[in-house]
Amino acid sequence: MVITIKYFGQIAEITQLQEESLEFSGTLISELLELLYSKYNSLKLKGFQVAQNQELVSIETKLTGYEIALLPPFAGG
């Protein structure tokens, strides 16, 4: 299926994209992340949370959504 992935903060700086769409046939979100890690090497070094269809989920969650977001924490103020 086609999945849209949204990137925020430092993650978007690594991918150089705000979002992209990928064809992906895996079953878990963690499998999608493996694909992204191979595409963007330094992504592995960053802490982030994952949202699926606008809901934050664990990476062991089954991939059911059409929209995934990678969300790093911000500290600035």
Please report, as ranges, the residues that interact with other proteins according to CB under 8 A. 6, 8-10, 18, 45-47, 49, 51, 54-56, 69, 71-77
Q: How far is the CB of 56 from other proteins (least distance, A)?
A: 5
How far from each other are the two terminal CA atoms of the chain, in whole angstroms? 39
Closest CA relative to residue 68, chosen from 42, 44, 45, 35 = 35
- Coil/strand/helix, residue 3: strand
Q: How far is the CB of 51 from other proteins (least distance, A)?
A: 5
Q: Is the CB of 32 or the CB of 48 nearer to other proteins?
A: 48
Q: Is the CB of 23 or the CB of 51 nearer to other proteins?
A: 51
* CA separation, residue 21 to residues 6, 7, 65, 67, 76 (Å): 9, 12, 13, 9, 30
Q: Is the CB of 6 or the CB of 15 nearer to other proteins?
A: 6
